[in-house]
Chains A and B, each alone.
Chain A
Amino acid sequence: MRIAILGFGSVGQGIARAILAKDLNITVTGLADSRSGIIDAGGIDVAAALARKGNGDSCGTPGISPADVVTKAEYDVLVEVTPTNVETAEPALGHIREALGRKKHVVTSNKGPIALAYPELRALAEANGVLLKYEATVCGAIPLIHAMQEGLAGNSISRLYGVFNGTCNYILTRMAEDSLTYEQALAEARELGYAEADPTYDVEGIDAAIKLVILANTILDMHTTLDDVERTGITLLTPDALRLAEDLDCTIRLIGEIVPKAGVLRVSPRIIGKEHPLVVEGTLNAVTVEADLAGELTFIGKGAGSTETASAIIGDLLYIHDRYVQGS
């Protein structure tokens, strides 16, 4: 199976390393980062591209743009793994449209296009007889979307809630463990690479809210936007508040919650018993799904990271390969 990869940051490189390390029968015929690109129908030397990137160089030839790769490379699946733009979803949205229009399957980790334009993209994919897969957009390595679409098909979901943001979970874990202030815990998270220089997107609950919108719109048949999510971040939390929770054998976690029937979409810090399965440590994610036939299920796993996110992308790629792509 031939793939073209847009975005050669942490996720793109994770995919490249997995392809090199494992016999997945995947050939990369197109590759682009923000500054350069490569198109080679015979198969790109992925190891060399990784090495160039490791030296701080561009992955390919300047002048070859992502749009060139999308329109000119020969591939079965476009792997779109550029950073999320929550306002317009561009340029990823345009690239995905273009690829679907060319009757190419698309696999993405980019939340923007899925949160903002899923119905349109899905219709476009269907009209062209191809698939659009996005497991990596929600909770990294946890195969939540696959579980809900396939494993829990036929169930009605009455409630879905959990820890959707590893950065916030790390900060809250550290505040509870060592009575750090919010600022201290954030500084530590930055040092370890768990938080961006501008942490707004994570700590204000925006990242978690987008994930709720994706689950609501693509699986729970709701029609929501980011503005529909009632959202409170963790920036005002005090070590005192965590201690007050601790007195009751509880702690505080940033919880994203969807109650489809009541139309509730909410991200907010909540008091939660320390023994509750959603109380996970560090940067882990955890999600509980309440389903009518299956009962209650809780998924716990790594919500971010190069290899972990690549796992979700590769799962989607092989799903498509097994069902749609002829030959190897």
Chain B
Amino acid sequence: MKLEMKDQPGQLVAALKPISAVGGNIIAVIHQREASAAAKALDVQIVLELPEGRLETLLELLREQGVTVVRIGEERLLYKCTLIMIGHLMHTDLSDTVDRIDRTGSAEVTELSLVMPAINAPSSARITIRSTTRTEMKKAIRILRGVAEQKKLLIIEPLEDA
């Protein structure tokens, strides 16, 4: 997000504090002082991760600090879940399996490692899914379970949620 704040000592800290207060994680802070910095305001760009549903609270807190949010960037795929699949993955159209997740639009397969030991022997794959929200991740895993049942694949899910 891009923020605008007063060019005064302590302002940047004031802007960053609410982020940790809502459980966010700051990935990068880009702080550029323009040549025409005679202006009283300062532009700062912050890249951050936020738990789902906390954005509104953060905006509220920033406003209280006198910080204006100029622009909020795109939501990225923040939730990640890695699963293992075992079965006849190629014969049951692996690209279709991946496509069924990608087609949701809100979750996608971002990594795939496949091991094929021998012809006709079941292969094993590690698949990483990323999604924008936890709900979307649950939905993606439900889809994968359905596909696995249909294609007789074994899905090994992680013990802990994404």
Binding site for B on A (CB under 8 A): 161, 232, 236-238, 240-241, 243-245, 247-248, 250, 252, 255, 268-272, 276, 278
Contact = CB atoms under 8 A, between A and B. Distances in A.
Interface stretch (B15-23, B36-44, B78-86): B78-86
Residue from B83, B86, B125, B159 with most neighbouring chain A CB atoms (10 Å):
B159
Interface in B134-162: 154, 156-159
A272 B83 CA distance: 11
Interface secondary structure of B, over-half rule: strand
B97 interface: no
27 contacts: A161-B159, A232-B154, A236-B87, A236-B122, A236-B154, A237-B86, A237-B154, A238-B117, A238-B122, A240-B115, A240-B117, A241-B84, A244-B115, A244-B125, A247-B126, A250-B158, A252-B156, A268-B157, A269-B156, A270-B157, A271-B82, A271-B83, A271-B156, A271-B157, A271-B158, A272-B159, A276-B159
B158 A244 contact: no
Contacts of A271: 82-84, 156-159
B131 interface: no
A244 B83 contact: no
B123 interface: yes
A269 B84 CA distance: 10
Contacts of B82: 248, 271
Closest 10 CB pairs of A and B: A240-B124, A240-B115, A244-B126, A241-B124, A271-B158, A270-B159, A272-B159, A236-B154, A238-B124, A241-B84
B113 interface: yes
Nearest to B156: A269
Nearest to B84: A241
Contacts of B84: 241, 244-245, 252, 271
B86 A238 contact: yes
Contacts of B123: 240
Nearest to B127: A244
Contacts of A247: 113, 126
